[in-house]
């Protein structure tokens, strides 16, 4: 879908569906909605009344215009209560509008900029949100469907944003561009997770990373298991032992023009399938375990657009990707293994594999002394129990840093909720025979057990761990897209890397 800006009045634009909006319980129609109503001789006011349309956030009403204006139909979207209106309302309204236009079989849609007239919201943010959400809400993965089962290609091809005021065009254009970039990055992450483990192997992830690096002129290194062994990555390789798929350790580097303000490491968990290993998962817990590489999809998705975004920081992306399988050579409960930084780990549960792979991924990048480390990982079921699929778990060794990530995530519509790490939690991963165990207190604070383990490898570098296990997969569609893999993390990373440093 193309998004274009037209320096024209809303009511004069030819299209299949024209999207306008309405705050809850408003009596007078003003702004763009008012202008369209006037052009239609008060038709909108009349129908709103007749149909009892209240303007609840995300509700929609479609009306035929019978040739009174160049738009064939008008869709009214509810914006909810004016006092509660914020960027998240803009997103919900945008998604509802575009979905309704799709239902009306529109090919060309023109939309009002939700929130642009409300005063509180920056026009650039409004344009970004509308563009981003419209693309993401219509996301559809049908690569594996037979031809006759694919959705007919009647998709919306053009979204026109109309703005009569010349002074605002530049900002809106910038918002559209950014929204388009973010949606593209997140869609790539979704594609990667949705594809499934039979083809989305560590080798394939490495090939995608290579392609992205080439297209973006970024430095890339892909280490095979032999190279990892030489570096002493006993932890990552232990997890990989149970699978026939060769593991890959991927490093991509971005350096900005001029002196970088900081060097930030972004690390993504990349388990292409998590069977649990010998500590085998029950069948139903395995159903969604192709999504255990969502962290890697998020960091790779982010790197895929980094040249276009041009952040002023140096970035090192690390993905240590492997499958976690119970093959004959699989690592076992009781095994003691050694990570690249020399620390030893007593494995008590082979299903707590993510942290074990991250131990080497982080040990590797710590040697480069980055200023900050962010890891994204579908790390624990406990985090899903605690926070569901509506927010990500944030854990940290540096509160100021975490505050910024939490703000960046919440702003971008990826909710972040912090869980505490106390010294008592740190004690829970002590081992009798090694430096640590890979589990923790049984049945208690599972998300934090994972975090305090990873913390052992970050040295004294400011670090934020984002457990995305919940939001990486949704069971019901939301404003950002259909059920299934979400590509969560991309929006937080992009917002943080470009606006917070």
Indicate which residues carry an active-site annotation: 281, 355
Among 274, 372, 467, 479, binds Zn ion (CB under 5 A): 274
Q: Select 220 or 468, whichever has its Cβ closest to ligand BES.
A: 468
Say which residue the tokens 């703005």 belong to.
Answer: 163
User: Considering only 34-42, 59-67, 289-297, 442-450, which stretch makes contact with Zn ion by CB under 5 A?
Assistant: 289-297
Minimum distance of Zn ion from residue 354's CB (angstroms): 4
440 binds Zn ion (CB under 5 A): no
Quickly list DSSP for 47-91. HHHHHT----TT-EEEEE-TTSSSEEEEEEEEEE-GGG--HHHHH
* Tokens describing residue 473: 């997969």
For residue 31, the minimal CB distance to Zn ion (Å) is 49
CB of 251 to ligand BES, least distance (A): 23
Residue 11 binding ligand BES, by CB under 6 A: no
Stretch that binds ligand BES, among 207-215, 349-357, 427-435, 485-493 (CB under 6 A): 349-357
What is d(CA 474, CA 489) in angstroms, rounded to the nearest whole number?
14
DSSP secondary structure code for residue 481 in this structure: B
Is 141 within 8 Å of 192 (Cβ atoms)? no
Query: For the CA atoms of 391, 392, 396, 398, what is the dihedral angle to 10 degrees?
Result: -60
Please state the closest distance from residue 428 (CB atom) to ligand BES, in A: 11
Output 353 or 372, the one with its CB closest to Zn ion.
353
> Between 292 and 323, whose beta carbon lies closer to Zn ion?
292
Q: Which of 382, 419, 421, 464 binds ligand BES (CB under 6 A)?
A: 382
CA angle 45, 47, 48 (to 5 degrees): 65
Window of 119-127, 268-276, 380-388, 489-497 that interacts with Zn ion by CB under 5 A: 268-276
Rg of the chain (C-alpha set)? 24
Residue 67's alpha-carbon distances to 16, 75, 110, 247, 499, in angstroms, are 11, 15, 16, 61, 45
Give helix 123-137 / helix 169-195 axis angle, nearest 10°. 30
Residue with Cβ nearer ligand BES (380 or 498) = 380
Q: What token pair was written down for 125?
A: 């943010």
Residue 351 Cβ, how far from ligand BES at the closest point, in Å?
4
Question: Which of the residues 323 through 352 are near Zn ion (CB under 5 A)?
Answer: 351
Q: How far is CA 485 from CA 41, 139, 319, in A?
A: 45, 11, 19
Least Å distance between CB 372 and ligand BES? 25
Piece of 43-51, 68-76, 375-383, 478-486 that binds ligand BES (CB under 6 A): 375-383
β-pair type (484-485, 473-474):
antiparallel
- The interface with ligand BES within residues 261-320 (CB under 6 A) comprises 274, 292
Q: How many residues bind Zn ion (CB under 5 A)?
A: 6
428: its two tokens: 């829970």
Structure tokens at 412: 């971008």
Q: Quick one: 22 or 197, whose CB is closer to ligand BES?
A: 197
CA–CA distance, 466 with 404 (Å, rounded to integer):
13
Segment 116-155, which members bind ligand BES (CB under 6 A)?
Answer: none
Stretch that binds ligand BES, among 31-39, 191-199, 331-339, 374-382 (CB under 6 A): 374-382
CB-facing half-sphere around the CA of 152: CA atoms within 13 A: 6
Helix or strand (DSSP H, E) at 38 = helix 31-39
Q: Which residues contact 76 (CB under 8 A, 6 or more apart)?
A: 20, 21, 22, 33, 44, 48, 53, 60, 61, 62, 63
Cβ proximity to Zn ion: between 163 and 291 the closer is 291
Q: Which is nearer to ligand BES, 10 or 345 (CB)?
A: 345
Quick one: which segment of 148-156, 221-229, 301-309, 380-388 binds ligand BES (CB under 6 A)?
380-388
Pick from 37, 163, 180, 292 the residue near Zn ion by CB under 5 A. Answer: 292
Is there binding between residue 354 and Zn ion (CB under 5 A)? yes
Shortest separation between residue 290's beta carbon and ligand BES, angstroms: 11
Site for ligand BES in 196-225 (CB under 6 A): none
Q: Which residue is nearest to ligand BES (CB)?
A: 381
* 29 touches, from ligand BES, Zn ion, none (C-beta below 5 to 8 Å by class): none
User: Measured from the CB of residue 335, what is the shortest distance to ligand BES in angstroms?
Assistant: 15
C-beta of 71 vs 271, nearer to Zn ion: 271
Within 10 A of 443 (CB to CB), how many other CB atoms are there? 7
- 349 is a site residue for ligand BES (CB under 6 A): yes
Least Cα distance to 298 among 256, 265, 270 occurs for: 270
Instruction: Confirm if 429 and 448 have CB atoms less than 8 A apart.
Output: no
Q: How many CA atoms lie within 13 A of 381 on its CB side?
A: 15
Question: 231 is written with which tokens?
Answer: 């570096």
Q: How far is the CB of 142 from ligand BES (least distance, A)?
A: 25
Under the rule (CB under 6 A), what is the footprint of ligand BES? 274, 292, 349, 351-354, 378-382, 384, 439, 446, 469
Under the rule (CB under 5 A), what is the footprint of Zn ion? 271, 274, 292, 351, 353-354
């Amino acid at each position: 879908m193309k998004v274009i800006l037209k320096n024209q009045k809303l009511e004069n634009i030819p299209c299949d569906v024209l999207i306008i909006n309405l705050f809850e319980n408003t009596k007078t129609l003003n702004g763009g909605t008012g202008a369209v109503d006037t052009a239609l001789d008060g038709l909108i006011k009349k129908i709103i009344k007749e149909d009892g349309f209240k303007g609840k956030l995300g509700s929609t009403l479609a009306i035929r215009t019978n040739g009174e204006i160049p738009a064939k139909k008008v869709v009214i979207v509810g914006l909810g209560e004016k006092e509660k209106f914020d960027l998240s309302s803009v997103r919900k309204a945008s998604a509802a509008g575009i979905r309704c236009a799709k239902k009306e079989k529109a090919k060309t849609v023109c939309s009002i900029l939700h929130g642009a007239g409300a005063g509180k919201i920056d026009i650039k943010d409004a344009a970004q949100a509308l563009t981003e959400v419209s693309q993401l809400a219509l996301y559809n993965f049908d690569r594996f469907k037979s031809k006759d089962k694919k959705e007919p290609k009647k998709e919306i091809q053009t979204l026109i944003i109309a703005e009569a005021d010349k002074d605002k065009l530049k900002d809106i254009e910038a918002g559209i561009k950014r929204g388009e970039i973010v949606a593209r990055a997140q869609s790539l992450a979704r594609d990667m997770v949705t594809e499934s483990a039979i083809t989305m192997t560590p080798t394939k992830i490495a090939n995608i990373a290579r392609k992205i690096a080439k297209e973006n002129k970024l430095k890339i290194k892909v280490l095979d298991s032999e190279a990892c062994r030489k570096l002493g990555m006993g932890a990552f390789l232990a997890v990989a032992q149970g699978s026939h798929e060769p593991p890959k350790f991927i490093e991509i580097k971005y350096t900005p023009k001029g002196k970088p303000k900081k060097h930030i490491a972004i690390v993504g968990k990349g388990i292409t399938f998590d069977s649990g290993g010998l500590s085998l998962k029950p069948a139903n817990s395995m159903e969604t375990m192709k999504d255990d590489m969502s962290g890697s999809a998020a960091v790779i998705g982010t790197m895929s657009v980094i040249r276009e975004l041009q952040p002023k920081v140096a970035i090192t992306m690390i993905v240590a990707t492997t499958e976690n399988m119970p093959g004959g050579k699989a690592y076992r409960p009781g095994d003691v293994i050694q990570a690249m930084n020399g620390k030893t780990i007593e494995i008590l549960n082979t299903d707590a594999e993510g942290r074990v792979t991250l131990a080497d991924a982080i040990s590797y990048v710590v040697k480069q002394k980055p200023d900050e480390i962010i890891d994204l990982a579908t790390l624990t079921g406990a985090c899903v129990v605690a926070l569901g699929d509506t927010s990500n778990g944030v854990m940290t060794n540096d509160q100021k840093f975490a505050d910024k990530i939490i703000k960046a995530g919440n702003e971008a519509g990826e909710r972040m909720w912090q869980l505490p790490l106390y010294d008592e939690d740190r004690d829970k991963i002590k081992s009798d025979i090694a430096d640590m165990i890979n589990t923790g207190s049984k049945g208690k604070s599972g998300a934090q057990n994972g975090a305090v383990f990873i913390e052992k490898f970050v040295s004294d570098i400011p670090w934020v761990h984002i457990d995305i296990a919940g939001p990486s997969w949704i069971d019901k569609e939301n404003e950002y897209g259909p059920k299934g893999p979400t590509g969560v993390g991309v929006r937080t990373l992009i917002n943080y890397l470009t606006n917070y440093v």
